[in-house]
A and B are shown apart, each in its own frame.
Chain A
């Protein structure tokens, strides 16, 4: 092999290596997709969202919950039952459903403006599911995370 060929092979290997490392670095540090910029796959009332999970959880999962390849964001409208903070200081908004004690449980990623119980609100977020356990004797909540208030 001539000196020139060796040189070209070395450069090619280097380019591939750097390329591979760059892709790896990019993937490793990839940020979560933007909820704020995403178009909701569904717009639904809090009561209807809860009802769907109660009556047909498979259909609800298929419709409202995405996966790693296909991210899904939903928009929920309802009356605020309560506003509180969790252990990390995140704001939680509970939306009323038709069932007492069952809420759409929304953890905010975006700003929480002047919001208080009783007012109507629209929230965009990622639905992670319906946390219900018959043994526990309490109504379950439909959980939304990474939420943004829709102005």
Chain B
């Protein structure tokens, strides 16, 4: 009888261990922030325009490389009130399209050793949705691990017409057709 109990015990322990291992591998390592920063910069003959949004929500899955961003268009703050008004009512039509999102992944996530401090150059690719239009976008990005903390950043250029945003002829010297977007997020929260 002892022999049978022993065998069953071994089975129980085995299945328990398998379950524990399975749980650990399926518990995705997700980190996020709700106050990430995205800013954009337009350089044109008559003026330079810059705006910041510091309530960007972003989630990173350190195992799969899955990366998502979501922000409220009305959250972009300009120095000049009139510019902010035009941005929301004329160009981005923020009441119609309240959010801009990115859903994609860090395609070379395996390059990053999240347990080791350092700077890792990676490629981010996915669907960028602005003004209700979705376009596949790829950007060179950086992941910095410092004291075990994850920070991601990127700089890339978008063409406004790709997203159905048209600039009236009179403002062509005030607003550039291509805009530089800068992203900086500290993934300080763990799911």
Contact = CB atoms under 8 A, between A and B. Distances in A.
Interface string B96-120: 0011010100000000000000000
20 contacts: A31-B81, A32-B84, A65-B74, A68-B89, A88-B52, A105-B34, A105-B35, A107-B54, A128-B55, A128-B74, A128-B75, A129-B72, A129-B98, A135-B68, A135-B103, A136-B59, A136-B68, A138-B57, A141-B57, A143-B55
Contacts of B52: 88
Interface string A79-113: 00000101110101000000000010101000000
Interface of B: 30, 32, 34-37, 52, 54-55, 57, 59, 68, 70-72, 74-75, 77, 80-82, 84-85, 88-89, 95, 98-99, 101, 103, 184, 186, 188, 191
B99 to A, nearest CB: 7
B71 A138 contact: no
Interface of A: 27-33, 65, 67-68, 84, 86-88, 90, 92, 103, 105, 107, 128-129, 131, 133, 135-138, 140-141, 143, 145-146
Given A131-B34, A136-B32, A87 B68 contact: no
Nearest to B71: A131
Contacts, number: 88
A5 to B, nearest CB: 33
Best-buried of A29, A32, A84 by chain B (most CB within 10 Å): A32
B174 to A, nearest CB: 10
